[in-house]
Structure 1
């Protein structure tokens, strides 16, 4: 009986969108037959179209004339692609790379013939490294910085009972305190330029997922940090924007083979350091499924980062950038997490929990959990 329930739950979890889609198709004729409902739906769609058209027609961009943009996490992924995009547009780009001799760093050095790309070693967890990049910018680019893009981040998965305090601190040092350190260091130069700060968080900074507390807590923290900073910077004419990518992990360095191997090593530390009681309660099968699920999730990510780079570009160049850019990813028809974020204000928490439980929670094998 338990196995049947587990199989049914797993089936619903993996086919939740298809089931929802069929339900919508089933009720569509009834919706269409009810005049007031159909009118409201059409009105809503028209309003969405008007808002999108207004945004497009009213968009005004700054005149690009070599302004300085500092970006962290440029070895791979979003940061790497954004450096190339902004160089093409005519910005002076200071590309912070954890390893300034990596393949990605060397590619950036060779990319531009304009001389506007500056590749600088940057470890956001080290005060000295941040001081060095600030001095470099002042010496080579002046005391005005048009934009700071806090992009550097580390992914992590693991249930709270398994994740060590050292791992909580390690990820926070990059994803949370690294952003704060870099922002505080460059704020005077950004204020001088009446520029902007762009913080790259994640959809996981707006929606909680099981086995993601270590990573998600840091992204939630930067959402709050960004909101406070935006309000404080208004009086100086400084904009603060948040870019929230959805499912793009398999397209960036977040879930590369190198990163996955590092994650596997960290998860081995979790298992080896867990108590006998915790191991017995969860079981090896459950624990291993967390890692294998992460590997499989990488295959479902969007195949291109282009739309995220478009959002970042808009945040850098738009005279009036958005407060938040929630960017849909996934190779599926919809990015489920992003859509749940959009509707979460209209559904009870218990319903949201039920959906996320069906979709993401790994079942405990029947032989476990009896400790």
Structure 2
């Protein structure tokens, strides 16, 4: 297999083909999940890569990567995954579970419909808990590892990111409890906190925000359209220089397999900068830092209609 970016020959030499070990990666059809699956396969693991469609399966299938149908909100898919592991023809142990699947739909707290709040929690939190509950017996048997992909948003919530950040704050807390519950069983729990990473999901989230903004009523347009437009513009510009998915996946693969992992890892310079600040700075100062680049621009003249910018970038 071709060595993915970020995986050195030293990594591959340290991990000769592990034909007796499985790793599950959810949300592996693209972005961070696909990059993580490729990196783990290059290190010698047999990766069960969670995808939702046949076309996604065809795209990710490769040496050492076996696509499995896995929508983590569907109990039947999770049960089938557990049976696949239990009935593995080579009796391979489950070495690690990388909980990466996720969705991101951003809008102000007042504006985002409750159905979209619930959808994000179903995928970004409850789906992962369901997979963990089903696969923990295998991980106890192998003294394996759970890697939960959180976000800088799980520590510092940007404006407009309330629902997404809420799911990640909750995943952080659940991970802490789980780590303290299962450490005595030999199972390790690790959280990875990416900042901005160039992925299809990150790129789509801005378009979704603008679609939601276009559907807002007149009062919400007056209150929030400039904030949404400024946030989308800022994040779009940042993603152009953000961490490539291949490098993020390579680091997650190392986190999933290093002998003595830390409880948490950051990914990207923005996460490494922002997360420590939350521990030391007063809340109001953090508010100012986190809203600086997302502050709505005022209209040039007092006569500019507020609705002019609704649903389109300012």
Verify same fold: TM over 0.5. Answer: yes
| Alignment of 1:300 onto 2:248 | no
Does 1 or 2 have the higher relative contact order (CA < 8 Å, sep 6+)? 2
Name the SS of the counterpart of 1:244 in structure 2.
Answer: strand
Shift in Å, 1:238: 0.6
> Are the equivalent residues in 2 in contact too, given 1:314–1:321 (CA < 8 A)?
no
| Alignment of 1:238 onto 2:190 | no
Query: C-alpha root-mean-square deviation of aligned residues, in Å?
Result: 2.5
The equivalent position to 1:138 in structure 2, one of 74, 77, 86, is 86
| Alignment of 1:181 onto 2:135 | no
1:104-119 paired onto structure 2 within 5 Å: 105-109=57-61, 111-112=62-63, 116-119=64-67
> Are the equivalent residues in 2 in contact too, given 1:143–1:189 (CA < 8 A)?
no
Shift in Å, 1:294: 4.0
Distance 1:207 1:146, change over 3 A: same
TM norm structure 2? 0.83
User: Which structure 1 residue ranges, 5 or more long, are not aligned?
Assistant: 1-60, 330-334
| Alignment of 1:320 onto 2:260 | yes
- Matched pairs, number: 288
Distance in 2, matches of 1:364 and 1:138, equals: 60
Name the SS of the counterpart of 1:319 in structure 2.
Answer: coil
User: Which structure 2 residue ranges, 5 or more long, are not aligned?
Assistant: 1-13, 308-314
Q: Which has the higher Rg, Structure 1 or Structure 2? A: 1
Deviation digits for residues 46-96 of structure 1 (CA, Å, limit 9, x no counterpart): xxxxxxxxxxxxxxx788633111110110011111212211222121111
Distance in 2, matches of 1:306 and 1:73, equals: 15
| Alignment of 1:347 onto 2:281 | yes
The equivalent position to 2:50 in structure 1, one of 77, 82, 96, is 96
Shift in Å, 1:286: 4.5
| Alignment of 1:264 onto 2:207 | yes
> Are the equivalent residues in 2 in contact too, given 1:210–1:361 (CA < 8 A)?
no
Aligned position for 2:102: 153
Query: In proportion to residue count, which structure has more helix?
Result: 1
Query: In proportion to residue count, which structure has more strand?
Result: 2
Distance in 2, matches of 1:99 and 1:153, equals: 16
